[in-house]
Amino acid sequence: MTKAILALENGTCYEGVSLGKQGKASGEVVFNTSMTGYQEVLTDPSYSGQMVAMTCPQIGNYGVTDSDHESRGPQVAGFIMREASPIASNWRASDTLHNYLEEHDIVAITDVDTRSLTRLLRSSGVMRGIITTDALRVEQAIEEAKTIAPMEGLDLVQHVTCPDPFIWRDDMDLGNSSEVGDFTLINERSIKQRLRIAAYDFGMKWNILRRLTAYGCDVHVFPATSPASDLLAIEPHGIFLSNGPGDPAPLDYAVANARELIA
């Protein structure tokens, strides 16, 4: 086992064990209270630039599957756990979490007191930090955490939005389209008229697209910087603006397009 440390900008340091890629990762440290859905968290574009600590005490016990992605691949800057399950017990699993982290070059740390970390973040707010397996002194790691650029003013949407417009189909994700069909909320034969939706991708989760499709929508997805005229050109029945990562303050282009759409 390779030792790792999580160093925070306020001087707090947690020792643990490396899981996934060895090396160094940095970002804004946040926590997630979900009991399940760690793969969805890992691939959620909203977490771009952030290192996520899971409060659930054991992570990885049902492995990973291609059908549970929320984007084309992992988006988190790092991953923090109390305990990583050594086994994956799930008939849907295609691999273990350990292998998934290694395959996708995600720097992760386990054996961390995530309860203590969560209480700290809850009372003090999110803070910058690094996970590293490098032979750094604790003081040096803390100083490096202090030098990480804050997320305020960063346009992270540009890193996660789609490069080109496309029309969503359920078989476009990495999973089995027939399996996606098992979760359809309504019978498509009962839909008298499908609705055409123009969606801005500011870091949209795939499950949003799956749900809109299940409810009878044909979703046309556009990059975040697309002019409003491109969306209006398809004569949509509705406009959807997704959520996304980081600080919305620098997204002047998004504000301008939204104003034009609702004018």
The domains spanning 3-146 and 157-262 adopt the same CATH topology:
no
Query: Tokens standing for 233?
Result: 């050109």
Query: Tokens standing for 202?
Result: 């500011």
Q: What distance in Å separates the CA atoms of residue 151 and residue 80, rounded to the nearest whole number?
A: 19
Predicted local distance difference test score (pLDDT) of residue 66: 86
Pick the CATH number of 3-146 from 3.40.50.150, 3.90.380.10, 3.50.30.20, 3.30.70.120: 3.50.30.20
C-beta of residue 80 within 8 angstroms of C-beta of residue 105: no
The CATH H-level superfamily of 157-262 is Class I glutamine amidotransferase (GATase) domain (3.40.50.880)
Predicted local distance difference test score (pLDDT) of residue 23: 94
C-beta of residue 70 within 8 angstroms of C-beta of residue 129: no
Q: What distance in Å separates the CA atoms of residue 16 and residue 82, rounded to the nearest whole number?
A: 9
Tens of each residue's pLDDT in the chain, 263 residues: 899 999 999 999 999 999 999 999 999 999 999 999 999 999 999 999 999 999 999 999 999 998 899 999 999 999 999 999 999 999 999 999 999 999 999 999 999 999 999 999 999 999 999 999 998 889 999 999 999 999 999 999 999 999 999 999 877 654 444 444 444 555 555 567 899 999 999 999 999 999 999 999 999 999 999 999 999 999 999 999 999 999 999 999 999 999 999 98
Q: How many helices (H) and strands (E) does the chain have?
A: 9, 13
Query: Tokens standing for 203?
Result: 């870091």
Per-domain residue ranges for the chain? 3-146, 157-262
HSE-up of 137 (CA within 13 Å, CB side)?
A: 3
